[in-house]
Amino acid sequence: DGLAVDLDPAALPMVVCGHSLGGALATLLVADVTANTPLKPQAWTFASPRVGDATFAARYGGLSTVSWRIYNQVDVVPYFPVDATDNYQPVTAGYAINSLGKAKWSIGCAHALNTYLHVLSAATVPLDPACS
């Protein structure tokens, strides 16, 4: 109930975005809203860690919602959590970018949202000065 009742699913699309832990939360929110309301939000996540196991990923894939999981190949966060059995899975194949040669390499720069936006925008979004 609440907000979902007041929103018109035929109106403008709902887009839920998040970076890092916010991307994981966006994934969970889109799964919940899509499964439990008539709304069909889109998910746009950047640098999200893996959210659930293979069962969750399969159910998420069956929700028929638009979902963009964008990750930097040299960012460590999208590969976490790591466990011996690798139960955690990405919810979609994802869209890989690579910031090598486009931004200074460091764990922080590889993970920074500004680095993601810089690479995706063909350098029209400026880098953080620490990553230039």
Give tens-digit pLDDT for 65-85. 899 999 999 999 999 988 767
Q: Mean pLDDT of all residues in the chain?
A: 91
pLDDT for res 9 = 64
The closest of 68, 78, 126, 79 to 102, measured between CA atoms, is 126
The arithmetic mean of pLDDT across residues 110-132, rounded, is 96
In a domain, 132, yes or no: no
Catalytic, 75? Answer: yes
In a domain, 27, yes or no: yes
Say if residues 7 and 15 touch (Cβ distance below 8 Å).
no
Q: How many CA atoms lie within 13 A of 126 on its CB side?
A: 3
Q: Which of 67, 75, 99, 118 is catalytic?
A: 75
Residues of the domain holding 18: 3-97
In a domain, 14, yes or no: yes
CATH code for position 82: 3.40.50.1820
CA 100 from centre of chain: 20
Neighbours of 9 (CB within 10 A): 12
Q: The whole model's pTM is what?
A: 0.89
Catalytic, 20? Answer: yes
Q: Which of 20, 48, 67, 99 is catalytic?
A: 20
Two tokens at 83?
């466990």
